[in-house]
Amino acid sequence: MTDDKGQPIPGAAIQLKGTSRGVTTNENGEYSITVPSEDAILLVSSLGFDRQEIALGGRSTINLTPGHGGF
């Protein structure tokens, strides 16, 4: 996860919607989370940005960059 200038966002929270399963991004803005299905939804939040829901839509890699108040 990077900001709009390409800088990593460490400490952002990534949670699997409907569960308590979650991770935080490392110092390089990287994260990994195991999801039960390709229809899963991730809840993404970080200080200074609006919380967002991101549908996986069958993707196995999600690169996040916040913009316009959210991700």
Instruction: Please list the pLDDT of the chain residue by residue as tens digits (71 residues).
Output: 888 888 999 999 999 999 999 999 999 999 999 999 989 999 999 988 888 999 999 888 888 776 545 55
Strand ranges (DSSP E) for the chain? 13-16, 22-24, 41-46, 49-55
**Residue 49 falls inside a structural domain:** yes
Question: What value does the CA radius of gyration of the chain take, rounded to a whole number of Å?
Answer: 11
**Residue 65 falls inside a structural domain:** no
Domain that holds residue 36: 13-55
Chain centroid offset of residue 12 CA: 7
pLDDT on residue 70: 53
**Residue 33 falls inside a structural domain:** yes
pLDDT on residue 14: 95
